[in-house]
Amino acid sequence: SQTIHQWPATLVQPVGSPLSLECTVEGTSNPNLYWYRQAAGRGLQLLFYSVGIGQISSEVPQNLSASRPQDRQFILSSKKLLLSDSGFYLCAWSVFEDTQYFGPGTRLTVL
Amino acid sequence: AQSVSQHNHHVILSEAASLELGCNYSYGGTVNLFWYVQYPGQHLQLLLKYFSGDPLVKGIKGFEAEFIKSKFSFNLRKPSVQWSDTAEYFCAVNDFSSGSARQLTFGSGTQLTVLP
C-alpha cells in the first residue's frame, strides 16, 4: 500500500532563516505531488505541484520554492522565512489525475 | 477560477442528530468532487468522492453526499452523528477547465462539534 511521509512534524524558525520541508511517498511510481498550505478558517491553498522529476508548477507567487530531485521526493524550501510563512504545510500525492492523498503535515512557526 | 463555498463554518450537534453540511462550487463544466475529514490531531483523510455515475455517493463511517448538478452542490449528510464525528470537514473540487484535473480547490472547512 502507499504511504506518505513528511518531516519534520513541527518546526520553529526565526525570521530570515532558511527552510527545507521534505515529503516522500512509498508504494507508487511517478506520482503527481503537491504542496498545500492550510490556514485556520481558510481551507487549503495549493502552492506547488509536480508531475515528474524536475517539473514544478507554482500556483501562488511567494517566498517559497519547491523541488523534486527524485521520483517520490518533494521538497519545499525558502531562502529567508517571513512571519507570513507560518502555517500548516501539507504534501499530497495522486496517480494520474485521480484522488489526492495527504501526508500528516508540518506545523511551521516563524518567530 | 474555481471557487468552493462552505457556508457553515461551525456546526454544533448533539449525538444522534442528523447532519447536513453544504458545499457549492462555481465551475459549470465537468468536475470531480470530494469530501475530506480531519479528525483532531490526525491528517486529512478522504471521506468520499464523486467522479461520475450515481449522484448519491456513499463513503466511510455512514456518510453520504449528493451531487446536484443544477445547483452546483455536493452536500454531505449523515442520518445520526456520533461524538467521534467531531472533526473539520472540507469540500474540494477539481475541474478540467485548464485541460487537466490537477487543480484541487478546497472550501474553507466546517468544524463539526458533536456533544455527547
Domain boundaries of chain A, sorted by first residue? 3-110
Domain ranges, residue B91: 4-115
The CATH number assigned to the domain holding B75 equals 2.60.40.10
Domain count of the fold of chain B: 1
More confident residue, A97 or A48: A48
> In this complex, do B106 and A101 lie within 8 Å of one another by their Cβ atoms?
no
All residues of chain B having their beta carbon less than 8 Å from the beta carbon of residue A42 are: 108
| Contact (CB, 8 A) for A61 and A90 | no
Calpha distance A92→A57 (Å, rounded): 14
Considering the domain A3-110 in this protein, what is its CATH number? 2.60.40.10
> In this complex, do B109 and A41 lie within 8 Å of one another by their Cβ atoms?
yes
| Contact (CB, 8 A) for B89 and B39 | no
- Average pLDDT score over chain A: 91
- CA pseudo-torsion sign B84, B54, B6, B31: positive
pLDDT, tens digit (0-9, with 9 covering 90-100), for A46-72: 899 898 999 998 887 678 999 999 999
